[in-house]
Structure 1
Amino acid sequence: MVRVWDRVVRSFHWALVLSFVTAWLTSHSSQAIHHWAGYAAAALVAMRLMWGVLGTPYARFSQFVRDPVTVLRYLSAILTGREARYIGHNPAGGAMVIALIAAVGSTALTGWLMTTDAYFGVSWVEAAHSTAAHGLLLLVFLHISGVALASVRHSENLVWAMMTGRKRKAERTDVA
């Protein structure tokens, strides 16, 4: 086994899951809890952006953010069942990290705007927040599906890896 995801990345991931679920479940029932869950998500994203530059090797964006052509090539390989196993995030996973961070950020920003004097009750801000939140939910489902598919295809429990930080060592055909 090899350590891939450090404690900061793992804590960020599961805290973001908790804040998202809390915000989603309280969106129509508890305004105070909903707001605090959104603030927590925003703070987590800010922290992850810093850690993506300053963190350990597999936490750095430079390790897993790839150009669109590489991501599309990887997605095509998934369709043919020939995608490589990556020790860190694969190209699709890296793109999903960026998409999720952007979606959480836009959801948090529009939610915060709704609490300000300038934008309270403004319909386009409410619509933008709702659209961002529903888009985020769609990305979460795609993320979970991708994790499930990669776990099956590569015989590796990625949920467990995100809990322990450890994955199976690279084999000859894997991308480190």
Structure 2
Amino acid sequence: MMRNNQIIWDPLVRIFHALLMLCFAVAWWFEDDYLYLHLLCGSTVLGLVFFRIIWGFAGTRYSLFRDFPLASRLLLSHLKSLWQLRKNSYPGHTPAGSFMIVALLLLLLLLSLSGVAVYALQTGHGPMAGWAGAIDFQREIWMTKIHSLLADSIVLLVLLHVGGVLIESLLHKQNLPLAMITGRKSRKEREK
């Protein structure tokens, strides 16, 4: 068998990934201390999520949602093989990675929208200001708790994601974080 280095992640997916990591980390870290920075990064996350959803339908092969192995039986089989430390190769995203991407995008969308709602409830400004109506302290507390819970849930999913990437990297003897930077992932091919 020989290894073939193939471009899997296009530049837009890689830039999206880097910007999303940066903006989420900054917004999470500076949640109370620098509100303007939090709002700027949170708004950028919302824009990035909208971009990734569009790119999931109009992008390159491995960025398309239809290319994601999202069947529950594939996920269970993949998790079982990981548990048994067996290699299970996928050219693009693994089933676990695919489910993680969908979950993260959904939670990031909800997080961003809840942040817009919190801002509207606190200030009476922003795209949801009409929905917020008269500033209601109880609704503000409730929405702030939802926003915090979503952020904490995303942090947990990110830790799981990083752990999964490290396990897959060790199991397949590939540097998957580097592959996300370069776009190239090596694949084993049978020699002819």
Please classify the TM superposition score into its range, dividing by the shorter chain length.
over 0.9
Which residue number in structure 2 is paired with residue 102 of structure 1?
106
Amino acid at match of 2:62: Y
| Deviations 1:127-165 (CA, angstroms, capped at 9, x unpaired) | 100100000000010010001000000000011000000
TM-superposed deviation, 1:28: 1.8
What residue ranges of structure 2 are gaps of 5+ in the alignment?
A: 125-131
Identity, in percent, stands at: 35
Q: Distance in 2 between matches of 1:140 and 1:80?
A: 23
Q: Greater CA radius of gyration, 1 or 2?
A: 2
Check conservation: 1:87, 1:170, Cα contact below 8 A: no
1:78 is matched with which residue: 76, 82, 89? 82
With normalisation by structure 2, the TM-score equals: 0.86
Counterpart Cα distance in 2 of 1:140 and 1:103: 11
Partner Cα separation in structure 2 for residue 171 and residue 135 of structure 1: 38
CA contact (8 A) 1:75 1:92 kept: yes
Q: How many residues align?
A: 172
Contact 1:74 1:83 in 2 (8 A): no
TM-fit CA distance, 1:69? 2.2
One-letter amino acid matched to 1:38: G
Q: How does 1:1-176 map to 2 (within 5 A)?
A: 1-116=5-120, 117=124, 118=132, 121=137, 122-172=140-190
Q: Which amino acid aligns with 1:77?
A: S
- Bigger mean CA offset, 109-118 vs 35-44: 109-118
Gaps in structure 1 of 5+ consecutive residues: none
| Cα distance in 2, alignment partners of residues 65 and 8 from structure 1 | 21
TM-score by length of 1: 0.93
